[in-house]
């Protein structure tokens, strides 16, 4: 498999390249707008590839999608923070080429979401809280992964809603799902789901111990897309 890496000079881009090289996956091109790479924009690369993997910035989505559609290439998008307009570009591209889109490339997180949905269904009257912890350099809050977990639970209980960063006076509403964000140190990523009935509490936890797991997940996603028909794929498609 030959891949184009967009965002090649970032933390995750470098981890992806290292993981690819350890698996004898060929890097067809390294693209980074701000780094020391042969290509600054994805459109500059005209060579052959089997897939494009993006670990850059959400604003790159329109150009990435246009490139993938034009070249007929599978696209893995592993960035977060997309605007609705950018998300629409991704959905449109998925009508033409296979697109794998996830805010978190960890199979463990996909399993956590699946378990959280099942647990929430078993305890319909429980209070549910989501807590996420990341390093002090992370810009967005809550994390894209926390939103994924929330969306999964809302599939079970569509009448509930997320309460982000609770503050001030007032009793907890029964239908709210609290989402709390913590930023400190060099934490790679911790996500917890607390489900409490009043007589018992269940806690589901996933802790990322290395960014390598996200790189490995992105490579698995790229391999998964090979030969797939157009469509929008997510992590639960891998479990």
DSSP reduced 3-state for 176: strand
**Dihedral sign, CA of 7, 8, 14, 16?**
positive
Q: How many angstroms separate the CA atoms of 98 and 101, rounded?
A: 10
Chain centroid offset of residue 41 CA: 22
Read off φ and ψ for residue 98, nearest 5 degrees: -70, 130
Burial class of 238 by CB neighbour count within 10 A (0 to 12, 13 to 18, 19+): middle
Task: Return the active site residues.
Answer: 134, 138
DSSP reduced 3-state for 46: coil
Q: Count the residues in the chain.
A: 239
- What single-letter DSSP state applies at residue 41? S
């Amino acid at each position: 498999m030959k891949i184009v890496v967009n965002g090649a000079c970032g933390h995750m881009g470098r981890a992806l390249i290292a993981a690819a090289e350890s698996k004898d996956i060929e890097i067809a091109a390294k693209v980074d707008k701000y780094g020391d790479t042969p290509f600054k924009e994805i459109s500059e690369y005209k060579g052959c590839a089997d897939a494009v993997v993006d670990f850059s910035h959400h604003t790159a989505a329109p150009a990435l999608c246009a490139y993938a559609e034009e070249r007929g290439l599978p696209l893995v998008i592993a960035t977060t923070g997309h605007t609705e307009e950018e998300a629409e570009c991704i959905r449109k591209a998925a009508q033409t080429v296979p697109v794998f889109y996830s805010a978190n490339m960890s199979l463990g997180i996909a399993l956590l979401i699946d378990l959280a949905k099942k647990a929430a269904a078993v305890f319909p009257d429980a209070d549910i809280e989501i807590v996420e912890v990341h390093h002090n350099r992370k810009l967005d809050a809550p994390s894209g992964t926390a939103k994924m977990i929330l969306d999964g639970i809302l599939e079970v209980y569509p009448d509930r809603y997320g309460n982000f960063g609770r503050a001030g006076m007032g009793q907890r509403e029964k239908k709210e799902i609290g989402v709390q964000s913590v930023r400190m140190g060099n934490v790679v990523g911790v996500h917890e789901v607390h489900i409490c009935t009043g007589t018992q509490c269940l806690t589901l936890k996933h802790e990322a111990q290395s960014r390598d797991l996200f790189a490995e997940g992105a490579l698995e996603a790229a391999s998964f897309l090979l030969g797939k028909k157009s469509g929008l794929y997510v992590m639960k498609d891998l479990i």
